[in-house]
Amino acid sequence: MPNYKKEPDFPRVQGGGSLIIAWQVKNKQVMVVGGGEVAAGRILHLLNADADVTVVCPSSGLNPEVRHRVAQKQVTHVDRVFQPSDLDAVPSDAAAAPTPPAMVLVAIDDPPASTQIWKLCKERRIPANIADVPSECDFYFGSVHRDGALQIMVSTNGKGPRLAASIRKWIANALPRGGVVGNAIERIGVLRQKLRDVAPAPEDGPKRMRWMTKVSDAYSWDQMARLTDEDLDNLLKFYEANDVPALYLLKAMRGGRAPEDVDLFDGSFGFSVGV
């Protein structure tokens, strides 16, 4: 009888997508060319990511939102049209020391000028995004839902931005309201940092990951969001045993009580009256 070997059940490759990543631009110099509505959206994304933003655009081209960012000194404004030398170093009125931009975002109503900036960025190996021209983009902006530390991006790879926005709204409406998910993620983030202080060695990594998985599966989002700093410290007492306590036990430990000192009625004993 033939001995057929079963093929491994690996995920199927689906070409044509983008590599979805969380690009860390904190304290990095990012240049936005343009000052209209699209540029305003790009600037907000960058500021939310703690980037150092330089806007290159004549004052006459700034819309009210970008003008507000400039007035509040949230961005550095270069009041003129783009010049090729801008790619050699962020203009000298930037707060940080002049350096080449880490990325360039172009949002101007001038296709030939946009293409020229794209080509200049390619020569200098600077990642760039030319608004509404997918073929001249190293990366795309998706439709983003934000709730504290939670960020969900929906991308159509530049093919249907309006559809991406609709899908993002549908996902957001399916999530709990009132910042519950974002708060839960913040608390879990604090716990992870505390755990690294307790078990800092690289060889502790697999155990940390397994225990954090158990914690994440043990409590609901709402329960996680309500964990106090004391709860997190008490929770860490169960790490060595690779255990996760029931929520009622964790709450009973508040006020400095040790797990062995907690005496809770759990319904195991009692009586009933029959008729």
pLDDT by position in tens, the chain (length 275): 566 667 778 989 989 888 888 999 999 999 999 999 999 999 999 999 999 999 999 999 999 999 999 999 999 999 999 999 999 987 655 455 678 999 999 999 999 999 999 999 999 999 999 998 989 999 988 888 999 889 999 988 878 888 999 999 999 999 998 889 999 999 999 999 999 999 999 999 999 999 999 999 999 999 999 999 999 999 999 999 999 999 999 999 999 888 777 765 444 444 333 33
Q: Which pLDDT does position 116 carry in this prediction? A: 97
Distances (CA, A) of 122 to 85, 87, 129, 162: 14, 11, 11, 28
What is the identity of the amino acid at 271?
A: F
Number of domains in the chain: 3
197-216 burial, b at 16+ Cβ within 10 Å, e below that, comes to eebeeeeeeeebeebbeebe
226-266: pLDDT as tens digits: 999 999 999 999 999 999 999 999 999 999 888 777 765 44
The answer to the question of residue 127 being in a domain is yes
Q: What CATH code is carried by the domain that includes residue 222?
A: 1.10.3280
Our CA angle for 63, 67, 72, nearest 5°, is 155
- Among the candidates 158, 175, 192, a domain finishes at 175
What is the identity of the amino acid at 153?
A: M
**DSSP codes of every residue in 80-121:** S---GGGGTS--TTSSSPP---SEEEE--S-HHHHHHHHHHH
- Among the candidates 175, 193, 221, a domain finishes at 175
Asked if 197 is an active-site residue, the reply is no
Which of 86, 88, 93, 132 does the annotation list as catalytic?
Answer: 132
The answer to the question of residue 13 being in a domain is no
Predicted TM-score (pTM) of the model is: 0.77
> Do residues 34 and 87 both lie within one domain?
yes
Please give the residue range of the domain that contains residue 112: 29-141
Beta bridge partners of 154: 143
